[in-house]
Chains A and B, each alone.
Chain A
Amino acid sequence: MEADWIWGLVGGLLIGSGGAVYLLGNGRIMGASGIIGGLVDGSGRGTVGERLIFLAGVFVLPLLLLPLFPEADTHLTTNPAVLVAAGLLVGIGTRLANGCTSGHGVCGISRLSLRGIVATVFYIGAGALTVVLFRHLLGVI
């Protein structure tokens, strides 16, 4: 669809605005893996409330918008082995690297953080290689 890039840009501006509110309001970097991970490994014990409320917003807004965009689809794989392997890799990887697409990508690159830029180069590179390997050579995804 030709309008996809416009929706992408508008959505991107909203994502960045969310990050700006979190930074200027609460003095925190909006990284999804850090916000979730801190709830799981105990490192965010003092800020459980704001983490859960943030995630509630992330979960609820798409739910409210879904009726307006009935054609929206996730095209998620139904292969359980792929889902479990991917979930484990994303969970372990983002916590080892201390960031994901939002923390290293959006928040890191926008302050020209070398760590954010290097992380982004490696996860995009690994992601592209993985898609090429598993889609075009192995035909799994």
Chain B
Amino acid sequence: MRYLMALLAGSLFGAGLFISGMTDTAKVQGWLDVFGDWDPTLAFVMGGAIVPMALAWRLTRRGTPLTGGSFPAPPEPKLGRNLVLGSVLFGMGWGLSGLCPGPSIAALGFGHWGHAVFVAAMLAGMFAAPAIRGQLDRYGAPA
């Protein structure tokens, strides 16, 4: 049942990324390109995605997930170095390529070698991230 839910969620996510045009890096970079030929599509994608998600969060106020267990804890109010620094680094990579993690997987089926290169580098970065966080904790600015 958990696997079925994961397959359904992943399929909806993948279909949505493709249909919305988020696998097209020109649309993503076009949205970020505020001084160029600005493309508003991403705002509609975000807005459309937030509506069902906000309804789902309301439903988590009572009950439990269909497959058992419990819903995620309320969000932590804690901001910090890792959140800000990580988001800045992520934004730089997103701007350079027009790819974020979800669309990078969804676009693999286009068969462009570049996606395989990007995903391999992304996996390497994800593998290295815990060690980098450890080094920041040891020598870097306070968390």
Question: B-contacting residues of A (Cβ < 8 Å)?
Answer: 4-5, 7-30, 32-33, 36-37, 40-41, 49-51, 53-63, 65-66, 69, 72-78, 80, 82-98, 100-102, 104-111, 113-116, 118-120, 122-132, 134-136, 141
B138 within 8 A of A: no
The answer on a CB contact under 8 Å between A87 and B124 is yes
Closest to A66 in B: B109
Do most interface residues of chain B lie in helix, strand or loop, or is the interface mixed?
Answer: helix
B residues with a Cβ closer than 8 A to A are: 1-3, 5-27, 29, 32-36, 39-57, 59-60, 64-72, 75-79, 82-102, 104-110, 112, 114-115, 117-130, 132-133
A96 touches B13 (CB 8 A): no
CB within 8 Å for A11 and B21 given contacts A75-B98, A94-B101, A141-B29: yes
Task: Please report the number of residue pairs spanning A and B whose Cβ atoms sit closer than 8 angstroms.
Answer: 485
A38 to B20, CA, bound (A): 26
Residue in B closest to A116 when the chains form the complex, CB atoms: B75
Whether the Cβ atoms of B32 and A80 lie closer than 8 Å is no
CB distance from B22 to the nearest CB of A (A): 7
Q: List 19 A-B contacts (CB under 8 A).
A: A8-B41, A14-B12, A15-B13, A16-B51, A18-B8, A18-B13, A49-B3, A61-B18, A75-B26, A84-B121, A86-B99, A87-B119, A89-B90, A90-B122, A91-B127, A97-B82, A97-B83, A97-B90, A110-B54
